[in-house]
Amino acid sequence: MKFVRSTMAVAGVATLALAMVGCSAAGGASSSAGSTEYTVWDPYPQHDASSDWAKRIDACGVDAGVTIKRTAYDSQSLTNQSLLAAQEGTAADVVLLDNPAVTTLADTGALNDMDSIGLDTSAIDPNLLGAGVLDGKTYGVPVGANTLALYYNKDILDAAGVDPATVTDWATLTAALQKVSTNGHKGITFAGFASEEGTFQFLPFFWGAGANLNKLDSTQAVSALTLWTDWVNQGLAPNSVITNSQNTTWEEFLTGDFGFVVNGTWQVNSASKAAFKTGYITIPAEAGGAAPAPTGGEFMVIPTQKDTARYDVSKKIVECMSTTAGQVKTADTFAYYIPATSAGQSALLVEHPELSVWVDAVKAAKGRTSDNLGANYPKISEQVYTAVQNALSGAMTPAEALKEAQAAAAAATTK
Q: Three-state SS for 215?
A: strand
Position 5 scores a pLDDT of: 33
Position 26 scores a pLDDT of: 35
How far apart CA 85 and CA 91 sit, in angstroms, is: 5
Position 34 scores a pLDDT of: 57
Long-range contacts at 104-109 (CB < 8 A, ≥ 24 apart): 104/16, 104/18, 104/79, 104/374, 104/375, 104/377, 104/378, 105/79, 105/139, 105/301, 105/303, 106/132, 106/134, 106/137, 106/139, 106/374, 107/134, 107/374, 107/375, 108/83, 109/304
pTM for the whole structure: 0.87
How far apart CA 256 and CA 259 sit, in angstroms, is: 8
CATH architecture of 148-293+373-413: 3-Layer(aba) Sandwich (3.40)
Q: How far is CA 171 from CA 154, 159, 398, 401, in A?
A: 20, 20, 19, 23
Domain 35-142+295-363 has CATH 3.30.70.20: no
Position 4 scores a pLDDT of: 34
Residues 6+ apart with CB under 8 A from 161: 179, 183
Q: Look at the alpha carbons of 246, 249, 255, 258 in this order and tell me if their dihedral is positive or negative.
A: negative
Residues 6+ apart with CB under 8 A from 168: 284, 288, 289
How far apart CA 312 and CA 35 sit, in angstroms, is: 13
Q: Three-state SS for 152?
A: strand
| Tens digit of each residue's pLDDT, the chain (415 residues) | 333 333 333 333 333 333 322 332 334 444 454 578 999 999 999 899 999 999 999 999 999 999 999 999 988 789 889 999 998 999 999 999 999 999 999 999 999 999 999 999 999 999 999 999 999 999 999 999 999 999 999 999 999 999 999 999 999 999 999 999 999 999 999 999 999 999 999 999 999 999 999 999 999 999 999 999 999 999 999 999 999 999 999 999 999 999 999 999 999 999 999 999 999 999 999 999 999 999 999 999 999 999 999 999 999 999 999 999 999 988 888 877 899 999 999 999 999 999 999 999 999 999 999 888 988 999 999 999 999 999 999 999 999 999 999 999 999 998 6
Domain map (residue ranges) of the chain: 35-142+295-363, 148-293+373-413
Task: Say if CB 320 and CB 62 are below 8 A apart.
Answer: no
Position 333 scores a pLDDT of: 82
Position 11 scores a pLDDT of: 39
Position 148 scores a pLDDT of: 96
For the stretch 137-167, pLDDT in tens is 999 999 999 999 999 999 999 999 999 999 9
Q: Three-state SS for 255?
A: coil
Position 3 scores a pLDDT of: 36
Q: Three-state SS for 183?
A: coil
